[in-house]
């Protein structure tokens, strides 16, 4: 029974504790002054615990798989050049954009094995992260990851309409392991993955994906890009 209970309760990411503690303290104070307001603060505290949940994930370990860096919905799949600050050239590549709403797990995970060859933070706007131009205009944190076969990919954390803080725990020179936690975005956001030229996405627009588990692409695969429909 205890194992079942423990599996149903997700740990909380360390970045969430300041918010949870502050909200909890405000809840106690509000209950002492105006109980009805205390109920509201209690709901906010519960939502904070929910938002900052950090569940374990089971990552496929077959070489050359690219896993989703975030929970959410595939918002866009287009050809686009990676962020220029990463120095990966200007040739368009397949870009997969995962949009996270405020109810998704916001802990981000590395999509592949390799090494981080570049890391760059760029301030910017806070447009709705579901818009295509958010990739160019919004605040972002970009990572280039060198793959064991000499190719590279990019993963970009993008702030959204109400997101005001990007956390990234890795920098240039760090080892990358597919599925490993590397950061978090508060509160509602998007993560872009730029695949090597010629690699076809194995997901479709509108599909729900799970960070660290769902496969976005096979770097050695020969399958053409997939199509999908709502059923």
Taking the alpha carbons at both ends of the chain, their separation in whole angstroms is 37
CA–CA separation, 227 vs 118, rounded Å? Answer: 33
**Plot region of 72 (φ>0 → left; ψ -120 to 50 → alpha; else → beta):** left
Distances (CA, A) of 11 to 23, 50, 139, 169, 221: 18, 10, 28, 18, 35
Nearest CA-CA partner of 79 in 228, 214, 198, 226: 198
What does residue 185 show for φ and ψ, rounded to 5 degrees? -125, 135
Catalytic residue among 23, 117, 189, 214: 189
Decide: residue 192, CB within 10 A, 0-12 exposed, 13-18 middle, 19+ buried.
buried
CA–CA separation, 228 vs 231, rounded Å? Answer: 9
CA–CA separation, 187 vs 25, rounded Å? Answer: 21
For the question of residue 189 being annotated catalytic, the response is yes
CA–CA separation, 64 vs 178, rounded Å? Answer: 10
Q: Which residues are catalytic?
A: 189
């Amino acid at each position: 029974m205890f194992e079942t209970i423990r599996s149903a309760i997700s740990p909380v990411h360390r970045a969430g504790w300041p918010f949870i503690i502050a909200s909890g303290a405000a809840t106690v104070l509000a209950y002492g002054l105006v109980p009805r307001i205390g109920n509201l603060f209690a709901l906010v505290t519960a939502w904070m615990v929910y938002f900052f949940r950090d569940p374990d994930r089971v990552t496929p370990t077959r070489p050359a798989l690219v896993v989703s860096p975030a929970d959410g919905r595939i918002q866009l799949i287009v050809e686009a050049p990676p962020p220029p600050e990463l120095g990966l050239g200007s040739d368009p590549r397949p870009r997969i954009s995962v949009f996270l709403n405020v109810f998704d797990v916001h802990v981000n995970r590395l999509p592949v094995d390799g090494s981080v060859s570049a890391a760059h933070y760029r301030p910017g706007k806070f447009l709705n992260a579901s818009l295509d131009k958010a990739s160019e205009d919004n605040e972002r944190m970009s990572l280039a990851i060198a793959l064991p076969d000499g190719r590279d990919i990019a993963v970009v954390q993008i702030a959204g309409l109400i997101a005001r803080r990007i956390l990234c725990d890795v920098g240039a020179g760090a080892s990358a392991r597919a599925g490993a936690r590397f950061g978090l975005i508060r509160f509602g956001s998007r993560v872009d993955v730029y695949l090597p030229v010629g690699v076809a996405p194995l997901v479709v627009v509108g599909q729900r994906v799970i960070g660290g588990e769902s496969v976005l692409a096979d770097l050695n695969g020969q399958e053409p890009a997939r199509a999908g429909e709502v059923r």
